[in-house]
Amino acid sequence: MSMTRRKKLARSPNVLVFFTDQQRHDTTGVHGNPMGLTPNFDRLAERGTHVENSFTCQPVCGPARSCLQTGRYATQTGCWRNGIPLAEDSVTLAKLFGEAGYDTAYFGKWHLGPDASVGPVPKAFRAGYDTWLASNVLELTSDAYSTTVYDKRNRPVQLPGYRVDAITDAVIRYFNGKDRSPDQPFFSFVSYLEPHHQNSRDDYPAPAGYEALYAKNTWVPPDLRALGGTSASHLPGYYGMVKRIDEALGRTIDALTSLNLLDDTIILFTSDHGNHFKTRNHEYKRSCHDASLRVPTALCGPGFDGGGRVSRLVSLVDLPPTLLDACGIPVPSQMSGRSIRPLLNEHFRSSNDWPDDVFAQVSESQVGRVVRTARWKYSVTDPTKNGWKESASDRYTEAHLYDLKADPWELNNLVGKASHDNVTKVMRERLKKHLKRVENATPKITPAPPTPAGQAKVSDEEASG
């Protein structure tokens, strides 16, 4: 490497993606949770840029990960359900940062390897990451206090401690270790399993003693308070896992500070999807509701400190181009998202240049599609299709319409009501535009059967809001 190149790289910011699994946005203090679970995330959001309205584009583990690695929607990556590997020739963040001279490293849960690969991931399916300490399906090769991951030679590595701490310790060793060249900036991606449930037992194993901390006077989000599901038994453990994740974030920031790396490092915190605790279907996600789609997201570091609160709607596919843009790396034209950096400009925030809706695809539990604006949520599904076997349909039926201004917890489905015909038409056309843009498809959408109006007709102006 030439001296000129070294000097150039030394001025490039490091990047750390801190990625959680199945974390609701309202676990955080900045989103109103009163339990004090996330002081470190809250400080990061307040110091940097808080993406207040952040949504996954696919509420399933593997597909969401493919979207974050590529900046493309799940049907575009081909990973539209779990168990489909990310194509070897995919243009990924690791490859793009690597080509720009970055050292790239991955830790934790991958979920994009070949279907037969439970733990080890063949090198060809690691999306270009150099340093590797991960498991393809971490929930199947680990438990709360027994963490097995695999190194770049696919040798099993047993990490000590609670799973969150075990992964965090490995990341900190990387920051301070010989595997990382001090002449190169790093692009490091740490993917935690928490606060995802432990599949084998269908529970949420918090660190010892942490579940008891949140078993009394537990704050229950209004949707769970109304619908129940498994929240009564699972929220204390879930909250305990969120607490330990936030402590890991604090430890990571402390490590970067002690190594004089923090001021030169962009940190992105986000999650793959949320958790509705079996209130919307028989499990925890895979639905059109904000409990599944809305996630906590914040950035800090060069270019993002002091960015304030971004209230515009942002999709998971917008985050890869954001990171590339912040580091001066050209954003590939095939990426479906766009950098949010212009939203840090007050003039741009109030302009019409940013999309006023987000689009999501839902698989496995259904073949579904969703569009959401600041006020309205509209979803369709094909009840004749198997969401594990088919990625899309040429014929959908309207399933949900929610007025998020009057009903933020999505408890009153308005689909089919004559009073909301105007809204339904507007949202149907919005969805069709996304389907054409993302999937190059023009499916037929069958209106929901009419139901009594129940209230005054919505005006055209309200329908477009």
pTM for this entry: 0.94
d(CA 274, CA 286): 9
Residue 92 has pLDDT above 60, yes or no: yes
Beta bridge partners of 147: 142, 159
> Would you state the pLDDT for residue 9?
38
Fold match, 3-349 / 366-463? no
Domain range summary for the chain, segments of one domain joined by +: 3-349, 366-463
Q: Tell me what the pLDDT averaged over the chain comes to.
A: 94
> Would you state the pLDDT for residue 7?
37
Q: What is the mean pLDDT of residues 32-41?
A: 98
Residue 3 has pLDDT above 50, yes or no: no
> Would you state the pLDDT for residue 461?
64
Q: What is the mean pLDDT of residues 130-136?
A: 97
> Would you state the pLDDT for residue 349?
67
Instruction: Please give the share of the chain, as a percent, with pLDDT higher than 90.
Output: 90
- Strand ranges (DSSP E) for 348-454? 357-362, 368-373, 376-381, 395-403, 444-446
Q: Of how many residues is the chain composed?
A: 465
**What is the token pair recorded at 444?**
């037929």
Residue 139 has pLDDT above 90, yes or no: yes
φ/ψ of residue 292, rounded to 5: -90, -35
- Strand ranges (DSSP E) for 48-184? 49-55, 103-109, 131-135, 142-143, 146-150, 156-159
d(CA 289, CA 399): 12
> Would you state the pLDDT for residue 183?
83
d(CA 321, CA 338): 6
Name the fold adopted by 366-463: Arylsulfatase, C-terminal domain (3.30.1120)
> Would you state the pLDDT for residue 459?
62
Cβ neighbours for 44, distance < 8 A, ≥ 6 positions apart? 249, 253, 267, 269, 298, 300
Name the fold adopted by 3-349: Alkaline Phosphatase, subunit A (3.40.720)
User: 386 — alpha (psi -120 to 50), left (phi > 0) or beta?
Assistant: beta
**What is the token pair recorded at 56?**
């996954």
Q: What is the mean pLDDT of residues 401-426?
A: 96
Q: What is the mean pLDDT of residues 43-72?
A: 98
d(CA 189, CA 18): 7
Q: What is the pLDDT of residues 204-232, one digit of tens each?
A: 999 999 999 999 999 999 999 999 999 99
- The strand pair at 376-381 and 395-403 is best described as antiparallel
Q: What is the pLDDT of residues 327-363, one digit of tens each?
A: 999 999 999 999 999 999 876 766 778 999 999 999 9
Query: Could you tell me the CA-to-CA distances from 425 to 10, 171, 227, 369, 370 in Å, in that order?
Result: 53, 49, 29, 16, 14
- Find the Cα–Cα–Cα–Cα dihedral 126, 129, 130, 131, rounded to 10°: -90
Whether the CB-CB separation of 409 and 418 falls below 8 Å is answered with no
- The strand pair at 308-315 and 49-55 is best described as parallel
d(CA 374, CA 368): 20
User: Which contiguous run of DSSP H or E holds residue 210?
Assistant: helix 210-213
Q: What is the pLDDT of residues 114-129, one digit of tens each?
A: 987 899 999 999 999 9
d(CA 295, CA 282): 21
Cis peptide before 195 (omega within 30 of 0): yes
> Would you state the pLDDT for residue 152?
96
Least confident stretch, 115-119, 247-251, 433-437: 115-119
Residue 151 has pLDDT above 60, yes or no: yes
Whether the CB-CB separation of 106 and 129 falls below 8 Å is answered with yes
> Would you state the pLDDT for residue 4?
32
Residue 435 has pLDDT above 80, yes or no: yes
Q: What is the pLDDT of residues 288-339, one digit of tens each?
A: 999 999 999 999 999 999 999 999 999 999 999 999 999 999 999 999 999 9
For residue 8, name the pLDDT band (cuts at 50, 70, 90): very low
**What is the token pair recorded at 15?**
């990047």
> Would you state the pLDDT for residue 456?
59
d(CA 102, CA 9): 8
| Amino acid identity for residue 20 in this structure | T
d(CA 264, CA 275): 33
The DSSP call for residue 262 is G
> Would you state the pLDDT for residue 11?
60
